[in-house]
Structure 1
Amino acid sequence: MRQDDLYINKIDWISILIYAALVIIGWFNIYAAVFDEQNAKSIFDLSINSGQQLVRIGAGVVMILLIMVADYRLFDNLSMILYVFFIVLLIATPFIGKEVNGQILTVGIGSIRIQPSEFAKFATALALAKFMERPSFDLSQVKYQLQALLIIMIPVILIMLQPDTGTAMVYFAFFIMLYREGMPQRYYALGLTFIAVSLLALAIENNLYLVFAIVAIITILIFLGKKKLSRVISFAVIGLLMIGYVYSLDYAVSKLPQHQQNRIMVLFNPDLDPLGVGWNVTQSKIAIGSGGFLGKGYLEGTQTKFDFVPEQHTDFIFCTLGEEFGWIGSLIVITLFCTLLIRLVFLAERQKTRFSRVYGYCVISILLFHFMVNIAMTIGLFPVIGIPLPFFSYGGSSLWAFTILLFIFIKLDSHRIQMLGRMN
């Protein structure tokens, strides 16, 4: 058997087929989101979003072919160069980028523009994989923890300056990968605790109740464990920090831009100003709920036709699916995403090198975050932060970035045996 035949047999066609299914379903939903019954145009018409997205899908296919025919060693060798390149591009974006709705997110020439923050995700994933593949790397050591955190935080800070809080939040998904690679669990326990405290502090009007609860829990933990002085002091310090955090949270939220404050308030009070700040989420839930079990039928969504949900072809594309294909259609798409994620976990675990495994879990982390948060924000379980549904939402940068992110891993997986030999 020729080596080319062997390579083709090693390609994970299951992931590719799921990717293709999601892209195609997303394309049809983009057409439905902009469909105008009075002035109907072909789905292939380049003057509307579906036609433009088809061109982007074609460009994505070209990118896939380039990735699959490239030498697999290229991604390892160029990982840090790509990271530095996109960091420089993020630095330059506020100066050479185009401003849209108060944000400077895209750079390019003429009508061809890209969003560097989207492409920086796969570059950061490659940089982390390259940094963590060294034999001496050990996440139990603080110096390596700080170095890995620095690689993640540099693009986060630069993206926040654009400002694009939603995209910046995505980079914290890399902590899922760090957990798999041995980051001490105490950090995650502490992080989850502060997240829980944050949600309770925002949900409960009188912070005094929460303070009493924190004091009670800390007291119970002290008495249940060994009465060592160091333990008592540690729990007391954590309790004081949490209490201080509770009372400082309102002040911190008040310093956020008004639209971000509104999104947080709507999360905890969905009925707050349904015709104003709560409009997007309210209409999104109406659209999804009106689809019922089987949906209203393709191109028959009334919420979609009358543009009740803003940005329905991008951040709120899931509404179109829920309204026109109902619970069944939504379940099928969610199942496709879950199947892809489970498949990627399987692929990541069978990698022969740390570089490929780390990169694989970076891919899983980013896709999982986008998938969960995008759907959660359309049904009112998460603040609206403006991030796309992978392979589904309208837009070139997001589609291309997700495509590159995924297919680099598929390429690495197909050469996992050769990579082991090279490492040895």
Structure 2
Amino acid sequence: MRESDIHINRVDWIAVSIYFALVIIGWFNIYAAVYDSQVEKSIFDFSINSGKQLVWIGTAIALITIIMVADYRFFENLSLIIYGVFMLILIVTPFLGKEVNGQTLSIGFGDFRIQPGEFAKFATALALAKVMERPTFDLSKKNYQFIAFGVLFIPIALILLQPDTGTAMVYFSFLLMFYREGLPQWYFGLGLGMVTITLLALGIDNNLYLALAIVLLTAALIFLGKRTWQRILAFSLIGIGLIAYTYSIDFVVSKLPPHQQNRIMVLFNPDIDPLGVGWNVTQSKIAIGSGGLLGKGYLEGTQTKFDFVPEQHTDFIFCTLGEEFGWVGSLVVIGLFVGLLYRLVIMAERQKTRFSRIYGYGVISILLFHFMINIAMTIGLFPVVGIPLPFFSYGGSSLWSFTVLLFIFIKFDSSRATQLGRIS
């Protein structure tokens, strides 16, 4: 492999530096989350999570090396094959995977297990970039929308069969990339409206009050305009549809597993069961709030030390940071994430091919969703859905999948001088 093929001089070292900063800070916080002052094991001890995470970090570096040495055309030319392979893996996961808490999320041998739903994110991003790269592909047209949404909804459906609602939700973040590539704005207005009505329906105990409000709003809209029968019929149908939608939400929620129903209940009433379903979020907020401005100091967090917050090394890793490093430490890490996302936007916009740009915005969409939802979970603004904080939370599947996702794009960016294409 010639040096010119690797494009070391063209690598965006700002993005790479932020990645390693987040990984290292996350590693120290994983150690803090499992630290026991009575035992005082080393951060390098392979019997605890920080030592295991160090192994994942080492293998992630090996993955980075492979990606950066490989020809960027490998990922582009085989993108649909990669997508197909991971869809097949998702199909067999419920049958061959290991069941934990009613979910079959991982496959593997012995202690070595991976979560295909995590790796399918970069495969889906590659596939979407491939099918949307043609200059004639226009998301404002129905037939092209059907193709794009078809590629997107296949992994969502397969992951829901596991069932893993949290991971499936992440795939909807690709809508941000769709918006950048020309999806009509009314889709987002419709989505925002549905989310608003969903939250209202979940937050109001008696749906009759919500239904009445919708009817009154519909009536007001009718009388504000011309009283033509078409307008009256249109708003009436909208009102009936919204009422039906609010009641369908209750039906769907009733079919969810009990633990997911409880998480939704806690979002709207955190005090409903502070010692049960509300325990995680309550203790997480206490940990973050107790950190104050500068925090209690590294390895001095009492909420962390006495294991008040379950899953603190994975989904709730951010509260460890908040307790021990306070508002300032949290702001630094949030700033690193924002800086990385901003850098990725700059990189995406300077691509010379639609494929690279679309993939770049797919990476941005996934990282932004994970970043926002994970932190929102820890402070009680979103239900606990098991979404890790990128590069920060403990776990090989999480670190590897985010690393592959990011560095494939960094590879595309470093090779842009040799790429031929037309941006439109």
TM over 0.5: yes
1:354 and 2:373 correspond:
no
Aligned to 2:160: 160
Query: How far off its partner does 1:10 sit?
Result: 1.8
The correspondence of residues 237-252 of structure 1 with structure 2, limited to 5 A, is: 237-252=237-252
Deviations 1:231-290 (A, max 9, x none): 543333222111111122222211211111100100000111100111111111111111
Aligned to 1:316: 316
| Cα separation, partners in 2 of 1:411 and 1:265, compared to 1, 3 Å | same
Query: How far off its partner does 1:225 sit?
Result: 5.1
Deviations 1:394-420 (A, max 9, x none): 000010000000000111111123222
Query: How far off its partner does 1:122 sit?
Result: 0.1
Aligned to 1:98: 98
Retained in 1: the 8 A contact 2:352–2:421? no
Aligned to 2:183: 183
Deviations 1:203-245 (A, max 9, x none): 1223233223222333344455566655543333222111111
Aligned to 1:53: 53
Residues in 2 aligned to 1:256 and 1:145: alpha-carbon distance in whole angstroms:
29
Aligned to 2:40: 40
**Matched residue type, 2:45:** D
Query: How far off its partner does 1:6 sit?
Result: 9.3
Aligned to 2:408: 408
Retained in 1: the 8 A contact 2:354–2:422? no
| Cα separation, partners in 2 of 1:163 and 1:224, compared to 1, 3 Å | same
Residues in 1 aligned to 2:5 and 2:164: alpha-carbon distance in whole angstroms:
45
Residues in 2 aligned to 1:218 and 1:74: alpha-carbon distance in whole angstroms:
54
Aligned to 1:270: 270
**Matched residue type, 2:257:** P
Residues in 2 aligned to 1:71 and 1:89: alpha-carbon distance in whole angstroms:
25
The correspondence of residues 277-292 of structure 1 with structure 2, limited to 5 A, is: 277-292=277-292
The correspondence of residues 344-383 of structure 1 with structure 2, limited to 5 A, is: 344-383=344-383
Deviations 1:41-62 (A, max 9, x none): 1101111100110011000001
Residues in 1 aligned to 2:66 and 2:117: alpha-carbon distance in whole angstroms:
22
Residues in 2 aligned to 1:254 and 1:10: alpha-carbon distance in whole angstroms:
53
Residues in 1 aligned to 2:250 and 2:94: alpha-carbon distance in whole angstroms:
30
Indicate the SS of the match to 1:104. Answer: strand
Aligned to 2:27: 27
Indicate the SS of the match to 2:99. Answer: strand
| Cα separation, partners in 2 of 1:225 and 1:180, compared to 1, 3 Å | farther
Residues in 1 aligned to 2:68 and 2:231: alpha-carbon distance in whole angstroms:
54
Aligned to 1:336: 336
Deviations 1:141-162 (A, max 9, x none): 1111111111111111111111
Aligned to 2:254: 254
Indicate the SS of the match to 1:420. Answer: coil
Residues in 2 aligned to 1:6 and 1:422: alpha-carbon distance in whole angstroms:
23
Gaps of 5+ in 2: none
Aligned identity (percent) is 72
The correspondence of residues 229-240 of structure 1 with structure 2, limited to 5 A, is: 230-240=230-240
Residues in 2 aligned to 1:150 and 1:389: alpha-carbon distance in whole angstroms:
28
Retained in 1: the 8 A contact 2:353–2:421? no
The correspondence of residues 197-212 of structure 1 with structure 2, limited to 5 A, is: 197-212=197-212
Indicate the SS of the match to 1:39. Answer: coil
156-165 or 94-103, larger mean C-alpha shift? 94-103
Indicate the SS of the match to 1:369. Answer: helix
Residues in 1 aligned to 2:96 and 2:369: alpha-carbon distance in whole angstroms:
29
Residues in 2 aligned to 1:277 and 1:264: alpha-carbon distance in whole angstroms:
10
**Matched residue type, 2:408:** I
Retained in 1: the 8 A contact 2:354–2:421? no
Residues in 2 aligned to 1:88 and 1:37: alpha-carbon distance in whole angstroms:
46
Residues in 1 aligned to 2:381 and 2:422: alpha-carbon distance in whole angstroms:
46
TM-score by length of 1: 0.96
Deviations 1:167-217 (A, max 9, x none): 111111111111111111111111110110111111122323322322233
Indicate the SS of the match to 1:37. Answer: coil
TM-score by length of 2: 0.96
User: Aligned pairs, how many?
Assistant: 423
Residues in 1 aligned to 2:308 and 2:186: alpha-carbon distance in whole angstroms:
45
Computed over aligned residues only, the root mean square deviation of the Cα atoms, in angstroms, reads 1.8
The correspondence of residues 212-231 of structure 1 with structure 2, limited to 5 A, is: 212-224=212-224, 230-231=230-231
Indicate the SS of the match to 2:296. Answer: coil
Residues in 2 aligned to 1:130 and 1:284: alpha-carbon distance in whole angstroms:
41
The correspondence of residues 115-134 of structure 1 with structure 2, limited to 5 A, is: 115-134=115-134
Residues in 2 aligned to 1:422 and 1:63: alpha-carbon distance in whole angstroms:
30
